[in-house]
Amino acid sequence: MQPFVYNGLPSRVVFGQGTLSRLSEELELLGCSRALVLSTPQQQQQAQEVLQQLGDKGIDVYAKAAMHTPVDITEDALERVKSLDVDCTVAIGGGSTIGLGKAIALRTGLPQVVIPTTYAGSEMTPILGETRDGEKTTQRTLDVLPETVIYDVDLTLTLPAGMSGTSGINAIAHAVEALYARDGNPVIALMAEEGIAALGRSLPVIANDLTNIEARADALYGAWLCGACLGSVGMSLHHKLCHTLGGSFNLPHAETHTIVLPYAVAYNAPAAPDAMARISRALGCEDAATGLYDLGRSVGAPSALSELGFSVEDVERATEIATRNPYWNPRDVEANGIRRLLSDAQSGHRPKMDGGGEQ
């Protein structure tokens, strides 16, 4: 066995059904009593219900969280934090809301409790991506890692089929890249394969039966594992591409990850055969890239970046940004290959080895 380094992340995880009822208790364990509840505008009502549940431990709701964590929104939220003398945040929602909580924590040191309602997995990572002036940058620091994550399966039962599928495949992307990460290790590889398998078997079931408790629990379990993988090891080409497309072209996060993932995997396949074997085994398919592509089709996810408003004319600029400061990747990041990869993702051709597409 090759030598390795494994770093465990110091997060407390509470998993099950009805676990939201333990929120006040978890705040007490953190020594907090003046919580600001965070959400997007779309989940403001849910945030208000959490605030009511907290009683005198809840101070207010801030419901302006937005995709890709714009810095101007963070700065606005900080004014609310300061004016209310907040001593912690409670984020309920997906990656947009969790990102805002992390951005506040980075600037204030305030503890965070996160209540995920999607399968994005960012609640388990010490990674923050922020957007300023049309470009998204990321950083990794334990300062943004939530102290407590409450997974309540009941909260995912109303997650629509489309968002269930795309946020679940977004989570799978974390585990996929963990399998060929430069700082990968056997423990993370086990978690990654198990996370991919859990989501791979549960997402098609959810697409046909939104209230299937067993599938919902399996998917949330898989999302936790995949998020923990991303939190423990580095990111590669797939995440660089998605950060480029999200930050510079304002494409939606989960849908972009879902579309790009099969093509990024096809690009890296020649340089990461062991990772490809694990992905294929987890999904029960012969080829990792096409297996991921087919999973997207089985849950009704969009298959082409063109469906999100990304045009053929955008490919060249995206290639330039993505290759300017590339993340470490098992295969060299070459402009011609990335251009072809993005072109195929734009059109939605079924992927094949080397990042190409076939009609």
Average pLDDT over residues 267-286: 97
Q: Dig out the tokens for 315 from the structure.
A: 């490919």
Q: Is residue 85 part of a domain?
A: yes
Going by C-alpha positions, the residue among 244, 110, 119 that lies closest to residue 174 is 119
Tell whether 100 and 142 lie within a shared domain: yes
Q: What percent of the chain has pLDDT over 70?
A: 98
| Boundaries of domain holding 338 | 161-358
**What's the domain count of the chain?**
2
pLDDT tens for 164-188 read 999 999 999 999 999 999 999 999 9
pLDDT reported for residue 8: 79
For residue 206, what are the contacts with CB-CB under 8 A and spacing of at least 6? 161, 164, 165, 168, 212, 215, 216, 219, 299
Instruction: Indicate if the pLDDT at residue 57 is higher than 70.
Output: yes
Can you tell me the distance from the alpha carbon of 323 to that of 334, in angstroms, rounded to the nearest whole number? 7
- The CATH number of the domain holding residue 321 is 1.20.1090.10
For residue 261, what are the contacts with CB-CB under 8 A and spacing of at least 6? 169, 172, 173, 176, 238, 292
Last residue of a domain, one of 106, 138, 156: 156
C-beta separation of 263 from 209 below 8 A:
no
pLDDT reported for residue 42: 96
Per DSSP, what are the bridge partners of residue 137? 130
Instruction: Indicate if the pLDDT at residue 75 is higher than 70.
Output: yes
pTM of the model: 0.90
Tell whether 334 and 349 lie within a shared domain: yes
- The CATH number of the domain holding residue 110 is 3.40.50.1970
